[in-house]
Homo-oligomer: A and B are copies of this chain.
Amino acid sequence: MASSVGPSRARKVTLRDVAQLAGVSVATASKALNGRDEVSEETRRRVTEVAERLAFTPNTLAQSILAGRSGTVGLLTNDLDGRFSLPILMGAEDAFGAGQMSVFLCDAREDAIREQHHLKALLGRRVDGLIVVGSKTDPRPPLGSKVPVPVVYAYAPSTDPADSSVVVDNVRAGRAAVEHLLATGRRHVAHVSGDVSYSAARDRAAGAGAALAEAGLDHVGPVRYGSWSEAWGRAAVAALLDADEPVDAVVCGSDQIARGVLDALRDRGVRVPDDVAVVGFDNWEPMISGSRPGLTSVDMRFQDMGRRAAERLFAALDGSDHPGVEAIEPRLVVRGSTVPEA
């Protein structure tokens, strides 16, 4: 007879229902369920039993409205399809999930209008704080001064240094790559990077250059900027080898470029790592796992960055965060493309 309307339209069971069925007042029911000691064991038992039977779940909305804190956080990303925001998001989810926070996810797609729209919705829902995830390392304008909750920027820092930001350290990453190459005996280091309009490309090159300079060296040829693609890596190798300068190492602006470089070197019969060592950035699984030999790469620790952003947001919530830009230290992962595999 299908007397119930729809699949699951049962009115939500409320504390009043529980109280009524247990024969106590709502106040008592509340106290019983929340473990307050102003209630007898016998009553508590009866109330909890009824709550269990009705599958009662306290309405967090009502609790939030009362407490003035919602226990929710907004995660405002601009790059949901990208590689960077996802691990960050995971790290944040991780850090929050441990506690009692729930996470609102919003993708603004690099659109400032959409971002403001989402921001407004989140503030309406009374999020306790916000994490803003960028898609590039280049600084971005802050959300606006009128945001009444703490904000932490991840990956892309705010242009305002007084905001809280957590970023990767591209300069240091470039330095780490070169220091590893120097330590393993390389002296002729070329550099193939991505789009020069990205600060990530320029910063990594700057770090690499600085490390070379400290050893009294310089890049072989100019830093070759191009695009963040395998095709560019392959094309760059052609140009590099045709230039006929000795090269025993290539620093690549990303793992994808490195993959192209590796493939092109293999095509040309150049042995890796014997003749030329190759280093990438990001330690990106899909590129790493298939490459021959395994690609040495600088891991930017996106997930830790997300976790750290969440931690700082927590700190900001109880006022113990001091704002500013914090850099995550990159971590070199050595594989067969720079050191012969055992």
Interface of A toward B, CB cutoff 8 Å = 5-10, 12, 55, 57-62, 64-65, 68, 70, 72, 75, 80-81, 86-87, 89-90, 93, 97, 100, 102-107, 114, 118, 120-126, 146-150, 229-231, 256, 259-260, 263, 286-287, 289-290, 292, 316, 319, 323
Contact = CB atoms under 8 A, between A and B. Distances in A.
B319 A6 contact: yes
B75 A90 contact: no
A150 B8 contact: yes
Query: Which 5 residue pairs across A and B have the least CB separation, nearest first?
Result: A230-B290, A105-B105, A60-B124, A6-B319, A60-B125
A125 B61 contact: yes
Most chain B C-beta atoms within 10 Å of own C-beta, residue among A10, A61, A75, A231: A61
Contact of A104 (B8, B104, B148, B319): B104
A320 to B, nearest CB: 10
Given A61-B61, A231-B290, 7 more contacts: A60-B124, A72-B125, A80-B93, A81-B87, A97-B114, A102-B104, A105-B105
Nearest to A319: B6
Nearest to A146: B55
A114 to B, nearest CB: 8
A150 B7 contact: yes
A319 to B, nearest CB: 4
B106 A103 contact: yes
A59 B65 contact: yes
B323 A7 contact: yes
Contacts of A287: 286
A5 to B, nearest CB: 7
B260 A290 contact: yes
A61 B70 contact: yes
A90 B86 contact: no
A135 to B, nearest CB: 14
Contact of A120 (B57, B65, B319): B57
Nearest to A9: B319
Contact of A86 (B86, B97, B100, B125): B86
A59 B260 contact: no
A90, A97, A114, most chain B CB atoms within 10 A? A97
